[in-house]
Amino acid sequence: MNQELIDLAVERGRLLERISMQRQLLEQQLQPVGDTLHSVDRALAAVRKGRDYLGQHPEVVTAAVAILVVLKPSRLWRWTKRGFLAWRTWRMLRRELFALGLSPRP
């Protein structure tokens, strides 16, 4: 009976060592993914900070639009169309991600 317990303890030790090695290997292999995700998180934080700033200071948006209208109305129209297309694409992408269960809200 004691030999069986010893064998089980030895096997458990081997398995724990194997798990530890697999975790280390996985950590090394996922390092580039983690670095990329960290960069994306920083970029998203910057975008959110800018969005919050513009939400608190709508006069900045108004001034920018006024300047665009005065300088080049045709450019304003072109950028408005591009912005609308980007907004529609973003909404569609959010709906698809929600449908796939990858986003908390549509």
pTM of the shown model: 0.47
Cα atoms in the 13 Å half-sphere on the side-chain side of 24: 6
Per-residue pLDDT, 104: 75
**What pLDDT, in 10s, does the model give residues 54-94?**
899 999 989 988 887 787 778 778 888 999 999 999 999 98
**What pLDDT, in 10s, does the model give residues 15-60?**
999 999 999 999 999 998 888 888 888 998 999 999 999 899 999 9
Task: Convert 35-70 to b/e letters by CB count within 10 Å (16 or more is b).
Answer: eeeeeeeeeeeeeeeeeeeeeeeeeeeeeeeeeeee
Per-residue pLDDT, 106: 63
The tokens describing 68, both together, are: 């665009």
The C-alpha atoms of residue 84 and residue 90 are separated, in whole angstroms, by 10
User: Cα 39 to chain center, whole Å?
Assistant: 9
